[in-house]
Amino acid sequence: MSQDTVVELLAELIAFDTTSHRSNLPLIAFIEEYLARYGVASRRVTDATGEKANLYATIGPVDRPGVMLSGHTDTVPVTGQAWRVDPFRLTVEGERLYGRGTADMKGFIAAVLAAVPALVESELAVPVHLAFSHDEEVGCLGVRTLLADLACQPVRPAACLVGEPTSMKPATAHKGKLAVRLHVRGKACHSGMAPEGVNAIHAAARLATWVERTAAAKASRGPFDARFAIPCTTLQVGTIQGGAALNIVPQDCRLDIEIRNVAEDDPEALLGELMAVAAALEAEMREISPEAGIRLERLSDYPGLSMDDDHALVAFILSLLDERELERIGYGTEGGLFQRELGIPTLVCGPGSMAQGHQPDEFVTRGQLARCEAFLVRLIDALSGPEARRRLAAGELLDDATA
């Protein structure tokens, strides 16, 4: 595996505009064809529209569980961002490689694909599974069909590494997320007759105030998880829209609310508290207009990730890295779903930094890609050859997780 190959593959991947509102099928077809060149079979798991797909492949023995390398193929939009370079053409300037998705997370996918020839040629005692998903950026939606597919298979992965950008530091935890939209329906009238109407923005403001007060309570009283830079559950109103003109009592307003929870907090319970406030408010509104109301729309949710620092997978991955520091990340990944839905021990570790992800002129460095390449070489060595087979037979590899 050479860095030139990784950069060439990254250039190919960046050229596909896989912004979440677009189909990712051209990129999936590219990966399928690439894997087929090395005799690796893969299978698509499509969404209901047929316009997007996950891709799954196994290299090595197919009769036993192995280590899954997982990455999402979609990216966030570039709309409204001031890019200095073409976001869909890889630009190399010294140590930095620019383009949408270089850090989040096509750099990881490029490194994994570059490792395929070595994986195929190795005598793997433990297989390596490749999982490439869609629609992660809009709430980890796409991977759910892949999870359902894997749940029905006779063999599923024993461990998972999600290659989100962590500067190649393994992350053992991240918070969960629940995002909802509240549609507030009031009653319009001329502003000079305001008491005869129901002001949807005023009602929405009361809901926003509850969110603000609850967030403050979490910050002061917890529960706390000291592993995170912000150790408590956070709540916020991200957008609020409503009203037509200053002289009209607004009939409609909507607000988007986000909860990012530590493991000790139940986001559904918090949502229940919010909806109890909404129900009381709705009753007041309907005293003036029976048509008034508040409707809940769920936007997305995913569970947090929480791995014990002394888990065998943590020790195994650390043994393959020139890194001994564990991370707890502030953004979400598909890792919590692999852990919750399939019981697969999961870590997050990949090249690049989320400080560059989602930004204009997103980039990953050559040094980060080199560290990822070195890790993959060590992973292949650890899972290959007579010594790996001996450790597998003795139940020593991954602490029996893959035996």
Give one DSSP letter per residue of 150-173, joined into a string. Answer: HHTSS---SEEEE---BTT--EEE
pLDDT for position 152: 95
Q: Please state, in angstroms and rounded to a whole number, the distance separating the CA atoms of residues 166 and 177.
A: 19
Does residue 265 have an active-site annotation? Answer: no
DSSP 102: I
Contact 250, 241 (CB under 8 A): no
For the chain, what are the domain ranges? Answer: 3-174+304-400, 176-302
The overall longest dimension of the chain from CA atoms, in Å, is 85
pLDDT of residue 387: 77
Q: Spell out the CATH class of 3-174+304-400.
A: alpha beta
The residue ranges of DSSP E strands in 39-170, in sequence order, are 42-46, 53-59, 67-72, 91-93, 96-98, 128-133, 159-162
pLDDT under 70 in the chain at which residues?
1-2, 391-403
SS3 259: strand
Q: Are 136 and 143 in contact (CB under 8 A)?
A: yes
pLDDT score recorded for residue 1: 64
User: Rounded distance, CA 338 to CA 342, Å?
Assistant: 5
d(CA 21, CA 77): 9
Set 32, 74, 104, 258: catalytic member: 74
Which one-letter DSSP state was computed for residue 356? T
CATH fold for domain 176-302: Alpha-Beta Plaits (3.30.70)
Active-site hit among 135, 136, 258, 362:
136
* Rounded distance between C-alpha atoms, residue 363 and residue 102, angstroms: 5
Neighbour order of strands in the sheet with 91-93: 91-93, 96-98, 363-365
Look up residue 134 and give its two tokens.
């869609």
Is residue 243 a contact partner of residue 201, using CB atoms and an 8 Å limit? yes
Strands 293-302 and 234-242: unpaired
Handedness of CA 260, 262, 268, 274 (dihedral sign): negative
Rounded CA-CA distance 118/304 in Å is 33
pLDDT in tens, 91-100: 999 999 999 9
For residues 276 and 284, what is the distance between their CA atoms, to the nearest angstrom?
13
Select from 323, 145, 309, 121 the least CA-distant residue to 226: 309
357 and 368 Cβ atoms separated by less than 8 Å? no
Exposed, middle or buried: residue 375 (CB in 10 Å: 0-12, 13-18, 19+)? buried
CB 338 within 8 A of CB 151: no
The question of whether 74 is a catalytic residue gets the answer: yes
Q: Identify the pLDDT of residue 334.
A: 95
Is 166 in contact with 349 (CB distance < 8 Å)? yes
What is residue 398's predicted lDDT score, i.e. its pLDDT? 61
